[in-house]
Amino acid sequence: MDKIRILLVDDHAIVRAGYRQLISTSNKIEVIGESETGEEGCQLYFQLKPDVLVIDLNLPKMSGLEAIRRIKQRDPAAAVLAFTMHSEQIYLKRTLEAGANGYLTKSCDPDLLLEGVCALAEGRQFIDPLFSNVLKGDSSDGGGGKNDLRELSPREFDIYRLLIDGQANREIAESLSLSQKTVANYATQIKAKLGVKTIAEMTRKALLFDRP
């Protein structure tokens, strides 16, 4: 039986090394490539055509969310497993909206990564048990309606995340292939929707937003 071929995309070499060590314990899975950026990850995906892509959301320049969108636009059948530090339901929902087939937090049991890869290779969705209330159909994701993160469009959410990560408008414009003026306009819209005036207030919004 052929092994499941996976591509790893994470900007931390030590994390990728940990993935490889874990995967080496399975006789069903093999790593055929790895990348530290979303842009290179997209290129490698189409060059190597892995069975499953395992990708972080926090990547330099092009975000994991943007990489997922670009890959799924060209290959709707791509099996994408997001493996991230974010345990907020809003990130889960945005990632699934981008087209991911699975979502795991980095605090999960390591064996879940192997289980998730196998599930996606079989054409199934795989979500971290942390979000069991979402899987049961609970649509609540915290917040109070207006002035919360659910108000943001997918593009606004991308820019919001990069802004609170400390990226300048120039860096965001480069990673998302937008003009700096467009990014500045988005930033203004985001602040208006969230009812804040500064990046610091945006960051507090993220910290206060309810977790599952």
If asked whether residues 157 and 56 sit together in one domain, one would say: no
Residue 142 forms part of a structural domain: no
Q: Pick the residue with more confidence: 159 or 207?
A: 159
Question: Does 144 have pLDDT greater than 50?
Answer: no
If asked whether residues 117 and 175 sit together in one domain, one would say: no
3-state SS class at 134 = helix
Last residue of one domain, picked from the residues 135, 162, 183: 135
Question: Does 1 have pLDDT greater than 80?
Answer: no
Q: Give the CATH number of the domain where residue 155 resides.
A: 1.10.10.10
- Predicted confidence at residue 135, as pLDDT, reads 52
pLDDT tens digits, one per residue of 168-179? 899 888 878 889
Q: What is the pTM of this model?
A: 0.75
If asked whether residues 9 and 103 sit together in one domain, one would say: yes
If asked whether residues 32 and 109 sit together in one domain, one would say: yes
If asked whether residues 118 and 92 sit together in one domain, one would say: yes
pLDDT tens digits, one per residue of 88-135? 888 898 899 899 999 999 988 989 999 999 999 999 999 998 887 655
Strands of the sheet with 102-105, listed across from one edge: 29-35, 4-9, 52-55, 80-84, 102-105, 126-127
pLDDT tens digits, one per residue of 149-201? 777 887 888 888 888 888 889 988 887 888 999 999 988 988 888 888 888 88
Tell me how far CA of residue 68 lies from CA of 42, 82, 114, 138, 162, in angstroms.
8, 9, 20, 25, 16
Q: How many domains, in total, are found in the chain?
A: 2
Residue 80: which of 38, 129, 111 has the closest Cα? 38
If asked whether residues 105 and 190 sit together in one domain, one would say: no
Work out the mean pLDDT of the chain and round it to a whole number.
Answer: 86
- Predicted confidence at residue 212, as pLDDT, reads 40
Last residue of one domain, picked from the residues 135, 170, 187: 135
If asked whether residues 122 and 153 sit together in one domain, one would say: no
If asked whether residues 19 and 119 sit together in one domain, one would say: yes
| Residue ranges making up the domain that contains 76 | 4-135
pLDDT tens digits, one per residue of 52-83? 999 999 887 788 998 999 999 999 999 999 99
How far from chain centre, in Å, is Cα 189? 23
| Residue whose token pair is 């071929």 | 5
- Predicted confidence at residue 134, as pLDDT, reads 55
Report the distance separating Cα 155 and Cα 176, nearest Å: 9
- Predicted confidence at residue 8, as pLDDT, reads 96
Last residue of one domain, picked from the residues 93, 111, 135: 135
